[in-house]
Amino acid sequence: MSNEPPDSGADRRRAELRDFLRTRRARLAPADVGMPAGGRRRTPGLRREEVAVLAGVGVSWYTWLEQGRDIKVSGEVLDAIARALRLDAAEREHLYLLAGLNPPPAEGTAAGGAVSPELRRVLEAWAPRPAYVRDRHWNFLAINDAAREVFGYGDTDRNCLVTFFTNGIFRAMSTEWAEAAPGVVARFRADSARHPDDPEFGRLADGLRAACPEFAELWARHDVSAGTDAVKAIRHPEAGELVFDALALPLADRPGLSLILHHPRPGTGTEERLERHMEHRRLSRAS
């Protein structure tokens, strides 16, 4: 094999895939996967044919994959190889990326169960400031009481993008809704472009295009934005004028999930009005 550097990103990716599979295979002994040792071995770890048997794929096909040849792969086959090689969630995601596919959500991260008790405690500790967790499709996975109270989120609000355009209470309170809407759509389009094989983004966009003319007009612009922060200005019927800086923090240990924290903008009086209002609400519920 030549010592010259690969001449393309695809070549580098396939070289990485080859080395990754080889090292994952080398760390496993036959006994680790319930297979007989099969006599003396010249190199440690499983043989290629043993991985192929465990994954239910052809020996030649797996050999080509590990050699870094340009062959077609599917998510089902990669999952089978991941199970055969005992890959953890991070390694499984890495395998997908090296094979040129978008990683699916890690097991157990597609629903509300993805939000751990520790993360829920962070949401509650952020009170009386609003906070929530959303997935890569902008679905709400957990919302603290402050966000429900301040932004008017109800039990039927399940998606951040849909709520922004269709929740009448939120739109009525938002004093800069029209100014914020283009950035919201541009950020969602940028997120959808990162997952071109995920049909859920298109389904959400198509539904909103049919339901909301403002969204349809903005979506047709094809604007994109990589920003992770925004401003939310609210005229709350009881608390008054509230202005928040919103920051989206990707959760490294939960691929696709983001923690959205809202901080009262300094100099606007938001923090003081928010604290008074939330304390009044707390006392009202306690009485």
pLDDT in tens, 124-150: 999 999 999 999 999 999 999 999 999
Quick one: DSSP state of residue 159?
Answer: B
Determine the distance from the C-alpha atom of residue 134 to the mean position of all C-alpha atoms in its chain, rounded to a whole number.
8
CATH number at residue 277: 3.30.450.180
CATH number at residue 82: 1.10.260.40
Q: Is the pLDDT of residue 70 over 70?
A: yes
Q: Is the pLDDT of residue 266 over 80?
A: yes
For the beta carbon of residue 3, count every other beta carbon within 10 angstroms: 4
* pLDDT score at 124: 94
Q: Is the pLDDT of residue 106 over 80?
A: no
8 — pLDDT class (breaks 50, 70, 90): low
The tokens 């809407």 sit on which residue? 181
Partners of 264 in beta bridges: 244
Radius of gyration of the chain (CA): 25
Q: Is the pLDDT of residue 152 over 50?
A: yes
The tokens 């500790």 sit on which residue? 125
Q: Is the pLDDT of residue 107 over 50?
A: no
Q: Is the pLDDT of residue 219 over 90?
A: yes
Same domain, 164 and 253: yes
Domain boundary among the residues 98, 120, 150 is at 98
Same domain, 61 and 132: no
261 — pLDDT class (breaks 50, 70, 90): very high
Q: Is the pLDDT of residue 110 over 50?
A: no
31: containing domain = 9-98
- Does any domain span residue 23? yes
Same domain, 80 and 214: no
Same domain, 120 and 92: no
- Does any domain span residue 213? yes
- Exposure string over 54-90, b if 16+ CB within 10 A, otherwise e: bbebeeebbeebbebeeeebeeebbbbbbebbebebe
**Sheet hosting strand 229-236, strand order edge to edge:** 140-143, 131-134, 258-264, 240-250, 229-236
- Does any domain span residue 41? yes
* pLDDT score at 39: 63
Q: Is the pLDDT of residue 34 over 80?
A: no
Q: Is the pLDDT of residue 20 over 80?
A: yes
- 232 vs 196: which has the higher pLDDT: 232
* pLDDT score at 6: 44
Same domain, 94 and 116: no
Same domain, 159 and 229: yes
- Tokens for 213? 């003319």
In this prediction the pTM is 0.63
The tokens 């739109």 sit on which residue? 171
Count of the separate structural domains present in the chain: 2
Torsion of CA 127, 132, 133, 138, to 10 degrees: -170
* pLDDT score at 249: 92
Q: Is the pLDDT of residue 4 over 90?
A: no
- Does any domain span residue 158? yes
Same domain, 89 and 129: no
Same domain, 56 and 184: no
- 123 vs 69: which has the higher pLDDT: 123
Whole-angstrom distance, CA of residue 200 vs CA of residue 163: 16
- Does any domain span residue 142? yes
Q: What is the mean pLDDT of the chain?
A: 86
List pLDDT tens digits, range 220-260.
Answer: 999 998 877 889 999 999 999 999 999 999 987 777 899 99
